[in-house]
Amino acid sequence: MEQHLFAEGLNLLMLGMGFVMVFLVFLIFATTMLSQAVARFAPPPVIPKPKRTPQPASAQTNEQLVAVMAAAIHHKKITQSSRY
């Protein structure tokens, strides 16, 4: 009786693994065929226009940026010290 159950278990194991293998092969085939179909009917890729290189910032802009950053740091220090 136990020998019969073991053989039946092996049979189910092979049958299940066989179905999984066939399904995975079919899935690979279907995915490959769909990607080829999409590549055939898809529009050609659009090549983006080259972006202009940014111009170097003027000295006045840098000075304004430094002033704004210093004011922000000062404001942050003031608000932190007033909490405690």
In a domain, 49, yes or no: no
Mind listing the pLDDT tens digit for each residue in 22-53?
999 999 999 999 999 998 888 878 888 888 87
Reported as half-sphere exposure (CB side, CA atoms, 13 A), residue 52 has a value of: 3
In a domain, 52, yes or no: no
Cα–Cα distance for residue pair 67/56, rounded to 1 Å: 19
Statement: residue 60 has pLDDT above 80? no
Statement: residue 84 has pLDDT above 60? no
In a domain, 31, yes or no: yes
Comparing 58 with 18, the larger pLDDT belongs to 18
Cα–Cα distance for residue pair 80/84, rounded to 1 Å: 7
In a domain, 25, yes or no: yes
In a domain, 50, yes or no: no
pLDDT at 23: 98
76 three-state secondary structure: helix
Statement: residue 59 has pLDDT above 70? no
In a domain, 76, yes or no: yes
Amino acid at position 4, single letter: H
Statement: residue 74 has pLDDT above 90? yes
Structural domain of 37: 2-43+58-83
In a domain, 35, yes or no: yes
In a domain, 53, yes or no: no
Total domains present in the chain: 1
